Amino acid sequence: MCHHTHTYGSRVVGYPVSIRYSMDMVVAPDRSAEDWIRTASRRLASAGSEALAIEPLAKAMGVTKGSFYWHFADRPALLEAVIADWEARATTPLLERLRRSGREPVERLTALMHTVAAEGKGSLDPAMRAWAHGEAKAAAAVGRVDAARLAYIAGEFRALGFSAAAAWSRARLLYLHLLGEHALAFGPADASVDERLREARRVLALLLKTE
C-alpha cells in the first residue's frame, strides 16, 4: 500500500491506494474531475442520488475506478462536488447575465422564465430537491439557491414599483410556477417550450396587475 494525496479545490485529501491503482493513476487519470462531476450530475438528473455509485459511473465513462480515485478520496467527496457544482451553476451565472443585459425588469423576468421552460428534463433541480430530503448538504445548497433566486425576483418586482410585501408575495408565486415547470417536464403533459412560455407570460401578466 502507498499513500496518495491530491488537491481538489482548496482541500488536500489523502488516502491509501493499492499498488495497482497507484500505477493506474501515475500513467493517466483518464478523465478530469469535471468529467466525473458532469457524468454524475447527468445520472443524478435521470436516476436520482442512489444511482451515484462509483463502478457504474466509471463504466459509463469507459474508465477504471483508478480514474475516480485520482480526483476524489471517496464517494462522499464526489457527491459534495456535485452539490457544489450545481449550486455554482444554478443561480449566479444566469442572474448576473440578466442584471448586465440592460433589459427592463419585465424583459428580464421573461428571459428567466424562458430559460426555465427551455431546460425541460435537462434541469437538475428536481433531483436536487428530492436528494435534499435525506442529505443535509444538498438541503443547505437548495436553501441557498432558493433564497438567491427569490431575492432576485422580488427585487425585479420592487423595481416595478411594488411594495416590499407585494413584491415578495409575487416573487414566491412566480417562483412556485417556475418550480412547477420543472415538475411538469417529467409528467405526461408534453407541452412545447413555446406553449409553456406563453403560459408563463400569462402568469407574469397576472402578477403585474396592481392591487
pLDDT of residue 211: 63
Contact 39, 59 (CB under 8 A): no
Q: What is the set of domains in the chain, with CATH numbers?
A: 2-82 (1.10.357.10), 91-207 (1.10.357.10)
If you search the block for the grid coordinates 428534463, which residue do you land on? 121
Structure confidence by residue, pLDDT tens digits, 1-15: 444 444 434 443 443
**Following CA atoms 124, 126, 128, 131 in sequence, which dihedral angle do they give, to the nearest 10 degrees?**
-140
Contact 80, 88 (CB under 8 A): no
DSSP state of 22: H
This prediction's pTM: 0.78
Structure confidence by residue, pLDDT tens digits, 141-198: 999 999 999 999 999 999 999 999 999 999 999 999 988 877 665 554 556 777 878 8
Structure confidence by residue, pLDDT tens digits, 99-131: 888 889 999 999 998 888 777 666 889 899 999
